[in-house]
Amino acid sequence: MTDTEKALQDLLELIAKHPELADRITITIKPSKIKQGEAKGK
């Protein structure tokens, strides 16, 4: 598990234990870059 995955897991556990915190947290997930031509051929 990478540091990022561990941090996300810890955050999700914290929100699960304290749902009232979720009202104050906004998470933005950027999509990974799509390589051109890869999706068209499938």
Q: What is the pTM of this model?
A: 0.51
What pLDDT does residue 32 have?
A: 80
Tokens encoding 29: 């997930």
What pLDDT does residue 39 have?
A: 56
Exposed e or buried b per residue across 19-33, where buried means at least 16 C-beta atoms within 10 angstroms of its C-beta: eeeeeeeeeeeeeee
More confident: 22 or 13: 13
List C-alpha distances in Å: 25 to 9, 14, 29: 15, 11, 13
What would the DSSP string read from start to end of 1-42?
--HHHHHHHHHHHHHHH-GGGGGG-----PPPPPPTTTTTT-
**Mean pLDDT (the chain, rounded):** 81
What pLDDT does residue 38 have?
A: 59
